[in-house]
Amino acid sequence: ALAAYLSRQKIKRTAIINFCQLNLQRIYNFTPIKFIRNRFGSYHIFEEIVVHNLTEFKKTYTSILKDKQTLAKDVGLAVLMYSFIYSKSYILFHSTGYDISILQLVVSLSLILWIISVVPVPGGLGFKEIVMIGMYTMVGVPINIAAIVSVIDRIIYLFFVSVVSYSAIGIMRIFHISQKQYRI
């Protein structure tokens, strides 16, 4: 809804502030989220950063929608990414000797991905594995197979994150690519 509102409005500071001011003030003053107040010196700084990021989001959003070739590439890459995710899980189930149907896999993995993206819990706490085991057992997979698949899935994920991260750091050092320092 916010993206649709921003894409139809000319980005003016007053339009964004009028649209978000009540919610921004509530978020900033919400007691359990005290780290937001500690991270930003004042509400004014917090508001400036949010307004700047919303403006940048609007620019990116409209440029992607206008450039059909970039949109097609993005959609194609997303389809490719999800096909790799689904095929990885399918191969993991078959490697454990369990024959899962495509429908069971698609339903359970889609729910897993949706829940993991919505729930604001860090992935390192084992929440993803618990959700994976629960969803797989709900579609009829034995709990021991579900546990093995979820742990192996996490190991594969962590392996690739580590390899890509260290490769990026190495490339940045070889080519002397430095990161701009932003003050938040």
The verdict on 61 and 96 lying in the same domain is no
Q: Is residue 77 part of a domain?
A: no
The verdict on 98 and 166 lying in the same domain is yes
Split at pLDDT 50, 70, 90, the class of 182 is very low
Q: Is residue 72 part of a domain?
A: no
Section 151-171 average pLDDT: 91
Amino acid symbol at 115: I
Q: Is residue 155 part of a domain?
A: yes
The verdict on 96 and 62 lying in the same domain is no
Number of structural domains (the chain) is 2
DSSP labels, 44-82: HHHHHHHHHHHHHHHHHHHHHHH-HHHHHHHHHHHHHHH
3-class state of residue 133 by DSSP:
helix
pLDDT tens digits along 166-175? 998 899 888 8
Closest Cα to residue 58, out of 17, 7, 19?
A: 7
The range of the structural domain enclosing residue 111 comes to 92-174
- 122 φ, ψ to 5°? -60, 145
The verdict on 106 and 144 lying in the same domain is yes
C-alpha pair distances (Å), 126 with each of 62, 84, 131, 142, 180: 37, 22, 9, 19, 33
Q: Is residue 87 part of a domain?
A: no
Split at pLDDT 50, 70, 90, the class of 7 is low
